[in-house]
Amino acid sequence: MPQPITPPGHRQQTSTAKDDQDDLVFLEEHPAASTDTSATGVWRVMIIDDDEDVHSTTTFALGNLDMQGRPLEFVHAYSAGQARDLLASETDIAVILLDVVMEQDDAGLHLVRHIRETLKLADVRIILRTGQPGYAPEIDAIRDFDINDYKTKSELTRIKLYTTVTSAIRSYQQIRKIDDSRRGLNQIVHASTELMALHGVHDYAAGVLAQIGDLLGTAASGVLCVKDCPGGDPGCHELMVMAACGRHAQLEPPHHLQHAPLADARIRALMEQTLAQRANVYGADSVTLYFAGKASRDFVAYLDVDSAPTDINERLLDVFCGNVAVGLDNVELVSHLHNAAFYDQLCKLPNRTRLLEILEESLAAATGPQHAPATLALVDLDHFAETNDALGHQFGDLLLVAVANRLQADLGRQVAVARIGGDIFALLGDSTLVTPAALLVLFQQPFRIDGQDVQLSATLGLVRLDEHEGSGGDALKDADIALKRAKTQQRAGYCYFSRSMGVEIRERVRMMHALRTAFGQRQLFVMYQPQIDLETRRPVGAEALLRWQTADGAFVSPDRFIPIAEYSGLIIDLGEWVLRTACRELMAVRAAGHLDFVMSVNVSQVQFRHPHFLDMLRRALEETGAPPQNIELEITESMAMEEPDLLIKMLDQIKQTGVSIAIDDFGTGFSSLSYLQRLQVDRLKIDRAFVTEITGSARGSSIAEMVIQLGRNLGLTVIAEGVEDERQAQILHALGCPLAQGFLFARPMKADALEDWLDNGK
């Protein structure tokens, strides 16, 4: 690592090769000035960066140049810690070139705080540099700690580096020259702080005029304009008024100056002179100040004065203009970014981010004794996606704007309206105003869009903030939970959030994350329950059952985790894994000589609806080699009846693969016999509840007998599940049920246990 301080007499030589076009402008400002540092002194520049190449390239670019008649002397620090140590003893540092990201992402900002607050170094100019533009300094740090400039390393070409450092040294020199006038310096710092606290371009510009008046000790009377030239035309002279005060107050923005009534015809000429000279113009009764902007958007201010400014005031204004020039550019950018970050650009409403701020403010105010209870409501437009697809996105945008306008117009200023999603609006206001009745009535009348009447309905999720505990983000989540619950119940309805919903959803999320982790860590496994021929008591197949055993040895019931897997979509990967595992086990059983063995695998509705289910089934059969005629897929009766027409087509395609189909839990739903005849199923499975009734209910075997008879009439095989005692088995056999499974014959077992069980002659 190089030594921290470059000796004053050391001057690096520049290469004669032209690295870039910036070499053409590397001229010394004072070619006749002496370079004898003992006679003229030096400007001390500290480079703080953890990259040695940055140190070398910076000294190479600036090392042989004179600025303001003096050469540069470099002080090097390679970390924020080393810089703290050096700054404790080094004096007369004029400029600090400071890397933002060093030991930590914000090490540079913390060092700025140390320099300004702890070391009380107010004169030194600080230029922030970063190679990682994502780590932009906080605006509070720029405001509070007088940062001279902020650049990305990639934009600091040699000429820009020279320009930036020269500007900083000039500022430092001027500050030092007026150091004896602490009043002026304090005013500049105070003015900069005050300005950075203002929001919006107009407020900032008006603040600039007021602060200039304070610096000159007179009431502000003037106008501030921006050179408004689309495309950056250098010959353009359009001046747009940004702020005006005093006798020029009639020049309200955003008027062009040439179209505005001027109190003095000289004003425009003085402004154009100042812009042309790119320098301040001081007169006996006026000052015209130049603020260099970016992209040909320079700024100029004219102010009336009672007398010509003193030399010290001119210097004060020069320094002030240097600060304001950066601020004017930044405030325009910040205003644009603020608008983009906090407001929906289509409907011009607060977005989700801004709504969260409003919510936090509302929750904080809710602690006051006089505060009325508030309600947050989410309004989800029903079937908006279909309207958007059918009539086009432009039509959909117009419809969203119409909804936003109606919500604002009818609810008034007492209710905050935001758009937080594609077709979801949020309303926040007094609980007497934000009610389901008041909101749903807004959608009774159609919306007139491009000459068409569009009838919309909406579903609401609401949360009463006086019953809410937590942050604004928590309240928004609770409202979303209520909205989802409302949408599952009925469209064009509503639901208020309750604590039980929160507990339920948090448990579901916890279970979902735990299930994903368990799947990845192989805590899930497949067990097999044999299926028996009641006549011979010999095994004819097995049902593959998914099980979950946690790290502490506890089992999680499938009734708990299967719905979570379906809700999260994890059932797609889980289902494929279970099918492949069962197919491989079937091949192992067949290799042991059990060639007629049938493997049954449960399939959920979510799997069936997946567009690639058939492809997955074919791949699993092909890659495992399992014969399709020995694979059976089990679907529930309720699933079969929910969308029977769609299921009929799907089952037809599945049957073409050779796989058979069974309806599980038959008798628990409300099957249509006409649909049942059309479904290409092979087997009905009597639910365990009806098997239990055979010996434990007054109705006895009536339902089981009915299912067995139905299967016989339709030519379907019937199997009973949950057979736990011999009497149940005998009755089922007597009723004509050919197959059964249950604890009487075998409990679910792992693959190796199944193979042993089969080999032992069971």
Here the CATH number for the domain that contains residue 283 is 3.30.450.40
| 458 and 552 inside one domain | no
Domain membership flag for residue 510: no
Examine the pLDDT at 649 and tell me if it is beyond 80: yes
pLDDT in tens, 86-98: 999 888 899 999 9
pLDDT band at residue 674 under the 50/70/90 scheme: low
> Do 693 and 575 lie in a common domain?
yes
Q: Is residue 545 in some structural domain?
A: yes
507 within domain boundaries: no
Say if 502 falls within a structural domain: no
Q: Nearest-CA neighbor of 253 among 193, 209, 286? A: 209
Please identify, among 311, 342, 373, the residue that sits at the C-terminal boundary of a domain: 342
CATH number of the structural domain spanning residue 551: 3.20.20.450
Residues 537-544: what's their mean pLDDT? 96
* Res 12: pLDDT: 39
For residues 236 and 259, membership in a common domain is answered with yes
597 and 746 in a single domain? The answer is yes
Which residues on neighbouring strands pair with residue 749, listed in sequence order? Answer: 528
Q: Is residue 680 part of a domain?
A: yes
Quick check: 19 pLDDT over 50?
no
What DSSP line would sit under 548-596, residue for residue? EE-TTSPEEPHHHHHHHHHHHTTHHHHHHHHHHHHHHHHHHHHHTT-TT
Check whether residue 221 and residue 327 sit in a common domain: yes
Cis peptide before 539 (omega within 30 of 0): no
Q: Is the pLDDT of residue 33 over 50?
A: no
* Same domain? 523 vs 416: no
Token pair 């042989």 is found at: 64
**Same-domain status, 564 and 709:** yes
Across 603-617, average pLDDT: 90
Overall number of domains in the chain: 4
Percent of the chain with pLDDT over 70: 83
Ranking 287-291, 339-343, 371-375, 606-610 by mean pLDDT, the lowest is 339-343
d(CA 180, CA 164): 26
Is the domain of 597 the same as that of 618?
A: yes
What CATH number has the domain bearing residue 423? 3.30.70.270
416-425, 464-473, 627-636: lowest mean pLDDT where? 464-473
The residue range of the domain holding 331 is: 179-342
Whether residue 514 is contained in a domain is answered as no
Which among 419, 423, 397, 422 is positioned nearest to 408, based on CA atoms?
419
Question: Domain check: are 13 and 125 in the same one?
Answer: yes
Q: Could you report the per-residue pLDDT of 704-718, keeping only the tens digit for each? A: 888 899 889 889 999
pLDDT of residue 179: 63
Question: What integer is the mean pLDDT of 341-365?
Answer: 87
Distances in Å between the Cα of 381 and the Cα atoms of 344, 452, 598 are: 17, 18, 49
Distance CA 525, CA 513 (A): 18
Task: Please tell me the predicted confidence (pLDDT) of residue 282.
Answer: 92
pLDDT at position 180: 45
Whether 553 is covered by a domain: the verdict is: yes
Can you give the pTM of this predicted structure? 0.48
Q: Are residues 309 and 406 in the same domain?
A: no
Q: Are residues 204 and 329 in the same domain?
A: yes
How far is it, in rounded angstroms, from Cα 711 to Cα 718? 6
Distance CA 621, CA 617 (A): 6
Taking alpha carbons only, the member of 679, 570, 576 closest to residue 621 is: 576
Nearest partner of 661 among 642, 639, 643, judged by Cα: 639
Is 30 inside a domain boundary? yes
pLDDT at 535: 94
Q: Domain check: are 279 and 226 in the same one? A: yes
Q: Which of 342, 377, 400 is at the close of a domain?
A: 342
Instruction: Give the pLDDT confidence score for residue 434 in this predicted structure.
Output: 93
- Residues 6 or more apart whose Cβ sits within 8 Å of residue 704: 686, 690, 691, 693, 694, 720, 732, 735, 737
Q: Which of 342, 371, 399 is the last residue of a domain?
A: 342
SS3 helix, strand, coil % of the chain, rounded to 5?
Answer: 50, 20, 30
pLDDT of residue 135: 52
Mean pLDDT of 585-594: 95
Residue 140: pLDDT band with limits 50, 70, 90: low
